[in-house]
A and B are shown apart, each in its own frame.
Chain A
């Protein structure tokens, strides 16, 4: 192989926060037209490395070469100028603006005193055709889907002339269909000579999209190799440094009495439209019920209604045989509910408070964490240390702010807090979003252990693999209503996929039989 000059070369990158080295001698080489995946456990230092490349953080030591020339990237605008573009996980778009206006923002073309939207729209159209990023330049952001918003983010970087595109966990918010489309977009971009750095915990995505992968473990780059011919199992084992089991083994347990009974409830969304309608479901002790559905079909409102965060317009929520409809979150929590919220940054934690304080967030007012209204910091720290150890939450210490922790470790902290209390019902919304495969395995084991211990578990997930792996029964939700309830062992991905579009169970089974026969 001839030695090509890499588009990006990061040499011996070290980044320290205090005494803690988040990056500890990382080397990375990305070639032109390459899709390069970064694989590593939660807290391995992937986001930190990318923040260094995009000028958000300064390395403690090490050098960066772009096209063989040494550069200092001391600000995001510098990284822009060097042709590096980042597609953020949380989109930075203005809802009330059109696609074109959003893309122009910050690099407006003007005609006299007015914006030249037309020329910009034309350029956007041409870019979207070139790279297969279909999106209507005149549509408002609030009117387009999450997948399309992501395309707008990609177009924004291309519009600014980026040659190197960084994606940090881009698929967490996408539907399976949108993920396939995104991978196709990656290939188009690479074909046109763009280089892509992709961070994801989904091994299938790495195998489908990437040419090369660099494994990072505990801040060190371990190995770089071509993806072709490597199995997901091999990738997972290399990343974690031990053998990982994808399918969790479940014993059968006796199903007990009903813990959660949802009876014909209606919950409205923020706009006052009924997002959950006539919804009924039971969850019994010793079973895991999964709710499968495409994002935005009422899952969020359903959970908020059950947990007291949103008003239930009609119907009843029974917990342990008690009517808990529209009780306060505290009253509902105290009946024995653990709630892993879907949006951990908005609901699950106080990002500016410490990890220790966050782990006490649900029990701070009770002994032993407080006595007579006075916080017992020693007890709080003891609890935090225990949970951090038990759930392998990695950070620079329990006194760091939750916001400084890696995404996956924030999630682990929330889960640790919610599973630690002796609850009879666990509600877990997207429990493994952003977790590495090792952590996913661990969390699945913990949820199953809860079920085996006779607890009721309600899981909401957009990932069918997760739903199928965990659930005993699966309720499929579409447009706020249950389309069908099936036993996990009697169904499969295809069938669930059809139900999720709103097809009835009989129709779905008939349709699948037809395709088998044909």
Chain B
């Protein structure tokens, strides 16, 4: 409980410091930080469309952050969220374009399962390599990011049939039977690309929270992550848990990618690099401090910065890169949370000392009166 409170204040401090650094940089380069940040807020909340944009941005970040957290709970560092998301994205788009006539109530669940399943597979492989051969999941997932990136592009360019492609670099748009966008949401947000994905993300927060804290599976994943020896002693299979945790982690990333494909972009196109949602999801998880509600808040903050930042150059002239600096500083401060905690402890110690000296003074002032008081109390 106290650690949760602690990571909350760390996150708060970090965001604050990140914004301050952004402000200082704006000042140094001759911009007005107040109008800069006002512009940022304006572009994030100025219209329903902006809000829709923020929510669209949040959707995959919540899922990849959940994925990162599950792996981390089991003691693994899943850097492969990007590749796993990509696997889900390519797979789901390809699948739904291949069956344009499937009814929506079959298409959407199966496409979500296929996308999540491909992500899960992409996560399970490094988990299995780690469990079986002790191969570092950090290195394997980084490598797999490249493999999946080029595999995805290759499938798009060379394997997919002409009939489902718009051009060599882009697929056609998925049909209405596979789209996660909802008319009332699109209308409400004046045509933003928000989709039912946001609800899926919110539900997944609850589902993952439930799995990790209320089920035997989550119990095992936590136990293995915290103390492998004790988990083995208690008869848990550390290998099985490694594979399962990485599969869940990858599955969530795959779901994020699926929603990007079927909800946000409605297609797949040649990627120049691993999708940012993987790495941004790690940032969200870190800022969220390992708490599930924290992930929601952190995803909101980073998305507001990102969407707000897009409008900043137009209305205040502050370049978009400033937002990247702010985001990077926030993550830096979270990373340096050790330092912040230390500072908090120092401040508290100073407070305590001050309290003590004032108390001591009070005591000496009151003198004999307090003495007799104490005796009376006994």
Contacts and interface: CB of A to CB of B under 8 A. Distances in A.
A357 interface: yes
B230 A375 contact: no
Contacts of A351: 226-227
Interface stretch (A286-294, A327-335, A444-452): A327-335
A348 B217 CA distance: 20
B231 to A, nearest CB: 8
Contact of A353 (B222, B233, B352): B222
Given A329-B235, A330-B235, A346 B216 contact: no
Contacts, number: 69
Contacts of B234: 329, 361-362
A169 interface: no
A58 B356 CA distance: 12
B219 A348 contact: no
A341 B233 contact: yes
Dominant SS at the B interface? helix
A373 B217 contact: yes
B152 to A, nearest CB: 34
Given A72-B353, A364-B219, A374 B229 contact: no
Interface string A461-488: 0000000000000000000000000000
B237 interface: yes
Contacts of B375: none
A284 to B, nearest CB: 25
Nearest to A75: B349
A329 B230 contact: no
Contacts of B230: 346-350, 361
Interface string A137-151: 000000000000000
Given A58-B352, A350-B227, A329 B232 contact: yes
A74 interface: yes
Interface size class of B (residues with CB under 8 A): 20 to 34
A328 B233 CA distance: 10
Nearest to A334: B235
B233 A309 contact: yes
A370 B356 CA distance: 50
B215 A328 contact: no
B32 to A, nearest CB: 44
Nearest to A332: B235
A217 interface: no
Residue of B216, B349, B356 with most chain A CB atoms under a 10 A cut-off: B216
Given A334-B235, A347-B229, 12 more contacts: A58-B349, A328-B237, A346-B227, A346-B230, A350-B226, A352-B226, A353-B222, A353-B223, A357-B219, A361-B234, A374-B215, A375-B219
- Going nearest first, the 6 A-B pairs with the smallest beta carbon separation are A330-B235, A347-B233, A361-B234, A329-B235, A370-B216, A352-B226
19 contacts: A58-B349, A72-B356, A74-B352, A74-B353, A329-B232, A329-B235, A330-B235, A334-B235, A347-B230, A347-B233, A350-B223, A350-B226, A351-B227, A352-B226, A362-B234, A373-B215, A373-B217, A374-B216, A377-B214
